[in-house]
A and B are shown apart, each in its own frame.
Chain A
Amino acid sequence: EAQVTQNPRYLITVTGKKLTVTCSQNMNHEYMSWYRQDPGLGLRQIYYSMNVEVTDKGDVPEGYKVSRKEKRNFPLILESPSPNQTSLYFCASSFSGTSGRAHTQYFGPGTRLTVL
């Protein structure tokens, strides 16, 4: 089954304790992205990756890091989480526009993070 998976689904942590949220897709997509969803603000892009070893900042990158060592995985790293990073996080993937294929992003189920 074609899907985007995220782990963990729920996480409660404390300020300053480094954490990683994993994202994996099995559709051979070039493009992957992380969003955060906050009430009344919709989804905002944190980081994205056009392909392996190619990453760039989105609209709200402060406090986050990413890496893309393999095509299928795109982990989100919070080196020193703070309470303002409490949010619902979504990973998404799609084929790249340069491939000329359909522009549909597929979303993971979300990770609800609480930073105390």
Chain B
Amino acid sequence: AQSVTQLDSQVPVFEEAPVELRCNYSSSVSVYLFWYVQYPNQGLQLLLKYLSGSTLVKGINGFEAEFNKSQTSFHLRKPSVHISDTAEYFCAVSEATQGGSEKLVFGKGTKLTVNP
């Protein structure tokens, strides 16, 4: 079984500052990794995903994440945030096995608040 830990439940930052949202996972098998974003009163939208290959993954809206297998981490970063990045961010994992389950296991979320 997999589990995901998002280390910060809330992260306040000022506009144009860099931000890192932390995610660690636990799994006995290889995993795929995802970051989803939920803007206020909306559904979840995929920011980026790691399936294989390069460990640095670039997503939408200037976000990127780095897969670190030895540290079982998949931290999300953005060099300069905007007010519009205020949202809740979810890290998720699924099994990376042939014919494996599509089930996503989510972390509890990190609320990013960007202040002017």
Contact = CB atoms under 8 A, between A and B. Distances in A.
Interface of A: 4, 31, 33, 35, 40-45, 48, 50, 58, 90, 92, 94, 96-98, 102-110
B25 to A, nearest CB: 13
Most buried by A among B32, B94, B104: B104
Contacts of B107: 42
Contact of B49 (A33, A42, A98, A104): A104
Contact of B43 (A42, A44, A103, A110): A110
Interface of B: 9, 32, 34, 36, 42-46, 49, 51, 90, 94, 98-104, 106-109
Contacts, number: 59
Given A48-B102, A48-B103, A109-B42, A103 B90 contact: no
A23 B100 CA distance: 24
Most buried by B among A4, A31, A58, A104: A104
Contacts of B90: 42-43
B46 A98 contact: no
Given A42-B90, A42-B108, A90-B43, A97 B9 contact: no
A42 B38 CA distance: 11
Contacts of A90: 43-44
Contacts of A97: 98-102
Nearest to A109: B43
Contacts of B101: 97
